[in-house]
Amino acid sequence: MSDLLIIFRKPPVGTSWAREALDLALVGAAFGQQASLVFMGDGVYQLLDNQQPDQVEQKGTQAMMKALPMYDIDQIFVSEESLSERGLTKDQLGFDCELIGQTELQALLKTHKQVFNF
């Protein structure tokens, strides 16, 4: 069981939420805390392959996300419902992640002492 559960609900660009949530995950890891990440709502867009944040003069999160294994963050969950609501499928995602439903999400929330919601 990991120590931190960080929930990403915002798209990779448009606001700084996604980047700042990811910063927290990386700092948590550097702090010796095992982090699990959940992507839901518009947060699922952070997992899409081939993003071009530079088109809107942003850095986005795609490159940083690729660094997650360097920080030993490998528990990545994505809401199946949020994907299908947006007409997305798992093979469009650029990251290894586990699809979860409402029940699994509830279990994650229940088993983590610390939950950060962005």
Partner 1 sequence: MNYSIAIYGGPYSDQSAHSALHFARAVLKREHSIQRVFFYHDGVYNSSALVSPPQDEANVPAQWQELAKEHDIELVVCIAAAVRRGLLDEKEAKRYSKATHNLADGFTLSGLGQLIDAGMTCDRLITFGA
Partner 2 sequence: MLNLADKQIPTDEEGYLENLSDWQPEVAELIAEAEGLELTESHWEILNLLRQFYQEFELSPAMRPLVKYIGIHLDKDKAKSIYLMQLFGESPAKLASKLAGLPKPTNCL
Question: Which lies closer to partner 1 via its Cβ, residue 17 or residue 95?
Answer: 17
- The entry of partner 2, partner 1, none near residue 20 (CB within 5 to 8 angstroms by kind) is partner 1
> Considering only residues 8-37, where is the footprint of partner 1 by CB under 8 A?
16-17, 20, 23-24, 27-28, 30-31, 33
Please, which residues bridge with residue 115 across strands?
Answer: 5
Burial of 85 (0-12, 13-18, 19+ CB in 10 A): exposed
Q: Taking Cα atoms as reference points, which of 94, 30, 37 lies closest to residue 62? A: 94
Sole window of 57-65, 84-92, 93-101, 108-116 interacting with partner 2 (rule: CB under 8 A): 57-65
